[in-house]
Structure 1
């Protein structure tokens, strides 16, 4: 596992997943984003680093499509997004992405454990993604009710 920075695409697992997303048929890409988020969000056992890293990349992609989301600029993100192509995503994916991020930061997560072993206790990149995915404060209560 190689990690070179703390961005959502800055590790081998996320970069590999992004390459697979780029290479996939455009009609399958939305399902791939959903699958990465679902794998992390619905995991009740030990959450593997690779699954967490892919879900973080997927969450960043979903967030980039929302108001307040950072545009995709990382050289390790899917090339089609860097080239300005769009990705058709279902409306429920922001909430699923929040669930995935919460699971990644929770107990029994290899991603959280590895960063914690390195002395990291705060995750500003994840916090920002979660805030964008949750929507404006006046809507976050509505999202929680869905």
Structure 2
């Protein structure tokens, strides 16, 4: 996977996910976002890097649409086509997907190192989570 920074769309897999959303009819985009979040949130086994990457990208789109988190989505690599209105319950699913993605048995988390080291990826991902679940 080509990675150029630590943001949700700063790698080839996430950029491809944005392109996949653009290729779908608008009425299918929310379902694709839900599917990406659900696949990660409901994973009971070791979480594959691609699934985790899609989940983080999908969570960033939920934050952009429902939690004033536009800064989480790269205008160059995120979807270029507008999303339909996203249902508010996707916020809770996005939080669950993030929590699963940063868990110890996640390939993407393993690649970014120990969360106790507070890497830029972990810090950015935790900021994304906080945008979805403000105190």
In 1, the alpha carbon distance for the partners of 2:101 and 2:46 equals: 10
Match of 1:87 among 72, 84, 88: 84
1:144 is matched with none
Q: Tell me, yes or no, if the aligned pair for 2:102 and 2:109 is still in contact at 8 Å.
A: yes
What does 1:1-146 align with in structure 2 at a 5 Å threshold? 1-71=1-71, 72-80=73-81, 85-116=82-113, 121-122=118-119, 123-135=122-134, 137=135
Kindly indicate whether the alpha-carbon contact (under 8 Å) linking 2:5 and 2:11 is maintained by their aligned counterparts in 1: yes
Question: What are the superposed Cα offsets for residues 54-90 of structure 1, whole Å, 9 maximum, x if unpaired?
Answer: 110000000012344234443010011xxxx343211
Q: Would you say how many aligned residue pairs link Structure 1 and Structure 2?
A: 131
Q: What CA distance in whole angstroms lies between the structure 2 residues aligned with 1:105 and 1:67?
A: 20
TM-score, normalised to structure 1's length? 0.83
Task: Tell me if structure 1 keeps the 8 A contact 2:48–2:107.
Answer: yes
Task: Please say which structure displays the higher CA radius of gyration.
Answer: 1
**Cα contact 1:9–1:74 (8 A) shared by 2:** no
Taking the aligned partners of 2:125 and 2:9, their CA distance within structure 1 comes to 12
Q: Which runs of 4+ in 1 moved over 2 A?
A: 70-74, 119-122
Identify the structure with bigger relative contact order (alpha carbons < 8 Å, sequence gap 6+): 2
Consecutive unaligned residues in structure 2, runs of 5 or more: none
CA contact (8 A) 2:63 2:132 kept: yes
